[in-house]
Amino acid sequence: MIGVIFGPPGSGKGTQAARVEHELGLKHLSTGDILRHEVAEGTPVGREAARIMAAGDLVPDELIVDIVRRRLPEAEAGAGVLLDGFPRTLRQAQALDRMLADEGHRVGFVVALDVPEHDLMDRILHRAQVQGRADDTREAIAERMREYHKLTEAVLDHYRRQDVAVERVDGTGTPEQVFERIRGAIGLSSG
């Protein structure tokens, strides 16, 4: 089972993806986490990505597709994969579809978390204090929200056209409540 989780910055998608991994056994593959790790390690990829990420912009498609291509086979070897933060653009979605098709796989479900924007700003500014992420400044957050709305709808439409179940899930409430909604949505979509 290959799933994708979408959510605007601060929607709690990383938290939910970790729970899906823990409770439903799908391997969590977060491109944001991978990039932050590369930045922290000072790798060539990390050096290229650091400034782009800090500004809230997207790193180049080729760079991110390479990262996923290297990690997908191992992740796919298990019960399933939950992609978090990827694909973010139509080109990334097309690249992903090709990689999966080579293994006889395809995206099985898409979950999109919906959270009102005023809740998001509060959550992110709180996270900025706790975790000190370089891209949790007001300007970078606003830029990431703009990017999210502009690009995500195109990717969701891409999957709807392929008759992949695209589930919009209410992301407000406690993490437990949100997780139960996701569990229900995935259950429905997988038949």
Closest to ligand ADP by CB, 56 vs 80, is: 56
Residues 21-80 that bind ligand ADP (CB under 6 A): 31-32, 35, 52-53, 56-59, 64
CA distances, 117 to each of 8, 27, 140, 148 (Å): 9, 29, 15, 12
Distance CA(69)–CA(106), nearest Å, equals 14
Q: Using the 8-state DSSP alphabet, how is residue 50 labeled?
A: H
Residue 133 annotated as catalytic: yes
Please tell me the distance from the alpha carbon of residue 146 to that of residue 140, in angstroms, as a whole number: 10
Residue nearest to ligand ADP (CB): 32
Task: For the CB of residue 76, give the shortest distance to ligand ADP in the complex, in Å.
Answer: 18
* Helix segments in the chain, DSSP class H: 13-19, 31-41, 44-54, 61-76, 90-102, 117-131, 138-161, 175-189
The nearest distance, CB 96 to ligand ADP, in angstroms, is 10
Q: Which of 19, 27, 28, 144 binds ligand ADP (CB under 6 A)?
A: 144
Q: Residue written as tokens 């589930």? A: 167
Choice between 91 and 105, CB closer to ligand ADP: 91
Active-site residue set: 13, 88, 127, 133, 144
Residues that bind ligand ADP (CB under 6 A): 9, 31-32, 35, 52-53, 56-59, 64, 85-86, 88, 92, 135, 144
